[in-house]
Amino acid sequence: MGNPKAFLTINRKEAGYRPVLERIEDFGEVEQTLNTEDRMLQASRCMDCGVPFCHWACPVSNAMPEWQDALYRGKWQDAYEILSRTNNFPEFTGRVCPALCEKSCVLNLQGVPVTIRENEAAIVERAFLEGYVKPHPPRVRTGKKVAVVGSGPAGLAAADMLNRKGHSVTVFEKDELPGGLLRLGIPDFKLNKKIVGRRIRLLEAEGVVFQNNIEVGKDITTHDLLKNFHALCLCIGAGTPRDLPVEGRELKGIHFALQLLRQQNRLVRGTDIPSEERIHVENKHVLVIGGGDTGSDCVGASIRRKAASVTQIEILPMPPEHQNPHTPWPLYPNVLKTSSSHQEGCTRRWALATQRFVGENGQLAGVEVVDTQTGAAELIPADLAFLSMGFVHPVHEGLADQLGVLYDARGNIAVTTDSRTSVDKVFVAGDAQMGAALVVRAIDSGRRAAQAIHIYL
Ligand SMILES: Cc1cc2nc3c(=O)[nH]c(=O)nc-3n(C[C@H](O)[C@H](O)[C@H](O)COP(=O)(O)OP(=O)(O)OC[C@H]3O[C@@H](n4cnc5c(N)ncnc54)[C@H](O)[C@@H]3O)c2cc1C
């Protein structure tokens, strides 16, 4: 702890976002960066608490006080090394993590936690810039082969850890490029896809093999995988979105959130999508149903696509703005979250349940909602509705059903012990096991599965 009094004298300073009028014209990352001096000063605010609640709250158990101290002292490489011991991909979490650590930071009792997430991003970006993130292929190969199915953060973390142990890892991915929701879910304005590509190239240089455009269970049978690999790790995500089967659901203009977001990420990459397949958002009145992060991403995407208006509705009442007595510190607070997308010009409403979709000539024209507190019904005009009400469980058809894995009560792939499924040789990690969660939880889960597979092998 370099400066024991810094938390008294130095204020929390966030890098902030680019100006709204500038950022809504492009899909570049909205978050800015601090200069080196300010960044180091921010790290000095860490109090090196006797009980580091930040560390306790972090799913990958990042050693925050240690790398804040190294950062404050200008030992960037040391900071990176400490950080990368527990987190395979700080460049992802440093951008998109809701920073459970900051919510538990003791300074958050005053609402001014250490800027842990931004510090993390700064450390890893400096590490890439200065060239000390280098491929470290294993010196010895064990002769064991592992197939990882799915290349989201869980699959990538599992592949990375298994490869480091010397096992030969092949990652199968049904989409055209690896990354899972990092690539085809989270918008570019939160996570530039070059960052994803940079990590994939590093993993390839270390010996991980990626086979894209292969849907296991369809393009390649599970029988073949079980025959050709010593172990399988299922990291297929929670791919079944929650639907809203009310009157009018069949109308044109109603899409799942990921239909928009996947298409948008492809458009940003320059993929040619025929006009008839595109969701045309321009000059449309957009209603986002679901008040969470996925919904917020639809808001940001729609605003950049020049929607005439964007409204986001949520079935639950508006949470308290600052503190919630039901989730006191150091728990993750259930309070109002205002994302960069919300700041860009959207109407947010709460306690509204969707009753039916109303259309004209087969096309959505409005959504009838009812206020869950007063019972009042209302019609919200809308040309497009994006269903962003979460995900129920992984896709069962194909791979999972073919393997015959058991599911838990929520339909996720059940774990017997240590990431093992009910089928011999088959392990599971990430959203497919936990239900839709967070990037940092997926990384943690992938790391655990890799350790279990290593012991099994
Ligand atoms: C729009 C959106 C925004 C989000 N934003 C954030 C955020 O800001 N911060 C955060 O922490 N979390 C965020 N999340 C959650 C986070 O992205 C997920 O929790 C995380 O990606 C889960 O990782 P995963 O590896 O388990 O699965 P995924 O990332 O879903 O990856 C699963 C992969 O498996 C592939 N696959 C599935 N079946 C097969 C098959 N049969 N054969 C081959 N491949 C297959 C899929 O194509 C996919 O690439 C967001 C989620 C969404 C939907």
Q: For residue 257, which atom of ligand 1 is closest to its CA?
A: 1
What is the predicted pLDDT for the residue at 295?
Answer: 98
What is the fold of 145-239+392-456?
FAD/NAD(P)-binding domain (3.50.50)
Q: For residue 185, which atom of ligand 1 is closest to its CA?
A: 1
What is the predicted pLDDT for the residue at 323?
Answer: 87
User: What is this structure's pTM?
Assistant: 0.98
Spatial CA neighbour of 449 closest among 137, 235, 228: 235
Task: Give one DSSP letter per residue of 313-330, joined into a string.
Answer: E-SSPPPPSS--TTS-TT
d(CA 420, CA 433): 10
The finding on whether 96 has its CB within 6 A of some atom of ligand 1 is yes
- Kindly state which CATH superfamily the domain 243-389 is placed in: FAD/NAD(P)-binding domain (3.50.50.60)
The finding on whether 97 has its CB within 6 A of some atom of ligand 1 is yes
**CA pseudo-torsion sign 111, 112, 113, 117:** positive
The finding on whether 31 has its CB within 6 A of some atom of ligand 1 is no
Take residue 4 and report the two structure tokens written for it: 């024991």
What is the fold of 6-130?
Fumarate Reductase Iron-sulfur Protein; Chain B, domain 2 (1.10.1060)
Determine whether 413 is exposed, middle or buried from the number of CB atoms within 10 Å of its CB (0-12, 13-18, 19+). Answer: buried
Residue 45: CB atoms within 10 A of its CB come to 25
**At residue 171, what is the residue type?**
V
**CA pseudo-torsion sign 143, 144, 150, 151:** negative
Which residue among 181, 211, 445 has the greatest number of ligand 1 atoms within 8 angstroms of its CB, and so is best to mutate? 181
Spatial CA neighbour of 422 closest among 184, 232, 262, 208: 232
What is the predicted pLDDT for the residue at 367?
Answer: 98
The finding on whether 430 has its CB within 6 A of some atom of ligand 1 is yes
The domain segmentation of the chain, as residue ranges, is 6-130, 145-239+392-456, 243-389
What is the predicted pLDDT for the residue at 3?
Answer: 82
Phi, psi of 356 (to 5 degrees): -165, 160
* Distance in Å, CA 439 to ligand 1 centroid: 8
Pairing mode of beta strands 391-393, 240-241: antiparallel
* Distance in Å, CA 235 to ligand 1 centroid: 9
Which residue among 87, 236, 434 has the greatest number of ligand 1 atoms within 8 angstroms of its CB, and so is best to mutate? 236
Residue 178: CB atoms within 10 A of its CB come to 26
User: What is the helix (H) or strand (E) element at residue 387, kind and residue range?
Assistant: strand 384-387
The finding on whether 172 has its CB within 6 A of some atom of ligand 1 is yes
Same topology between domain 6-130 and domain 243-389 = no
Nearest CA to ligand 1 atom 35: 150
Rounded to the nearest integer, the mean pLDDT of the chain is 97
d(CA 191, CA 182): 8
Q: For residue 186, which atom of ligand 1 is closest to its CA?
A: 3
Q: For residue 431, which atom of ligand 1 is closest to its CA?
A: 26
The finding on whether 147 has its CB within 6 A of some atom of ligand 1 is no
Between the alpha carbon of residue 443 and those of residues 105, 146, 268, 352, 457, the distances in Å are 21, 18, 26, 34, 21
* Distance in Å, CA 345 to ligand 1 centroid: 27
d(CA 200, CA 75): 27
Determine whether 307 is exposed, middle or buried from the number of CB atoms within 10 Å of its CB (0-12, 13-18, 19+). Answer: buried
The finding on whether 261 has its CB within 6 A of some atom of ligand 1 is yes
The finding on whether 100 has its CB within 6 A of some atom of ligand 1 is no
pLDDT in tens, the chain (457 residues): 668 899 999 999 999 999 999 999 999 999 999 999 999 999 999 999 999 999 999 999 999 999 999 999 999 999 999 999 999 999 999 999 999 999 999 999 999 999 999 999 999 999 999 999 999 999 999 999 999 999 999 999 999 999 999 999 999 999 999 999 999 999 999 999 999 999 999 999 999 999 999 999 999 999 999 999 999 999 999 999 999 999 999 999 999 999 999 999 999 999 999 999 999 999 999 999 999 999 999 999 999 999 999 999 999 999 999 889 999 999 999 999 999 999 999 999 999 999 999 999 999 999 999 999 999 999 999 999 999 999 999 999 999 999 999 999 999 999 999 999 999 999 999 999 999 999 999 999 999 999 999 999 9
* Distance in Å, CA 135 to ligand 1 centroid: 25
Q: For residue 439, which atom of ligand 1 is closest to its CA?
A: 11
Q: For residue 172, which atom of ligand 1 is closest to its CA?
A: 43
Which residue among 439, 443, 444 has the greatest number of ligand 1 atoms within 8 angstroms of its CB, and so is best to mutate? 439
**CA pseudo-torsion sign 403, 408, 412, 417:** negative
What is the predicted pLDDT for the residue at 402?
Answer: 96
Token pair 């069962």 in the structure block, residue: 396
Nearest CA to ligand 1 atom 21: 181
The finding on whether 152 has its CB within 6 A of some atom of ligand 1 is yes
Please tell me what DSSP assigns to residue 4.
Answer: T
